[in-house]
Amino acid sequence: MKNAFQLFTTFFKIGAFTLGGGYAMLSMVEKAVVDQKKWIASDEFWDLIAIVQSLPGVFAVNTALYVGHKIAGKRGAVAAMLGAIIPSIVIILLLATVFREYRELPVVERIFKGIRPCVVALILAPSLRMIKSAKITWKTAVIPIAAVVLIWWLRVSPAWVILAAIVGSLVYALVIEKKSKKKEVES
């Protein structure tokens, strides 16, 4: 019980004070859980993160659930998750109430007129960095281009694009596996 409460406060602090989203929270979680509290060994922690990163959903929530469960079972998982998200919910609720009240004010409108094009840049830049890190060749460049055309131009739901990409990756993985098995048999 004590552990579950400690998990809650640990993740609450991280949720309340870490700017920059889930990935920024990760290093804070490592610091708290591995270095300070010594609840998990470093290599075990990174093994967990490798799995969590490949799952869909909120990265910080997945991390909290996983670490919480490892340390204090189901109760720990729930405690860590609530700690990670409650600060966000409270802060955004307060801000949204205030912002929706005052967004018509000329001063606020002027500030946000400057901010909006910046937000667009902040979305485009990481997507291009992702393309770079995915080591896309002329052949595979078809995939992101098709995604852009489908979503932006033809207004297809991104959900379908993700589903199609999942099916495509699975088929591709199966074909590769079969080919390598065939080679093994032949040789």
Site for other proteins in 58-97 (CB under 8 A): 58-62, 65-66, 69, 77, 81, 84-85, 87-89, 91-93, 95-97
User: Is the Cα torsion angle 104, 105, 108, 110 positive or negative in sign?
Assistant: positive
Q: Does 9 bind other proteins (CB under 8 A)?
A: no
Query: How distant, in Å, are the alpha carbons of 67, 113, 122, 124, 158 from that of 119?
Result: 32, 11, 5, 9, 20
CB atoms inside a 10 Å sphere around CB 4: 19
Residue closer to other proteins by CB (options 137, 187) is 137
What share of residues in the chain are helix, strand, coil (percent, to 5)? Answer: 85, 0, 15
Cα–Cα dist 184/89, whole Å = 54
Q: Which pair of tokens denotes residue 24?
A: 């920024």
Residue closer to other proteins by CB (options 153, 187) is 153
Q: How far is the CB of 182 from other proteins (least distance, A)?
A: 20
Judged by CB under 8 A, which of 6, 10, 22, 33 binds other proteins? 22
Residue closer to other proteins by CB (options 41, 89) is 89
CB 6 within 8 A of CB 37: yes
Stretch that binds other proteins, among 2-10, 29-37, 48-56, 178-186 (CB under 8 A): 48-56
Q: Does 173 bind other proteins (CB under 8 A)?
A: yes
Q: How far is the CB of 37 from other proteins (least distance, A)?
A: 21
Q: Where in 104-163 is the site for other proteins (CB under 8 A)?
A: 107, 109-131, 133-134, 136, 140-141, 143-148, 150-152, 155, 157-159, 161-163
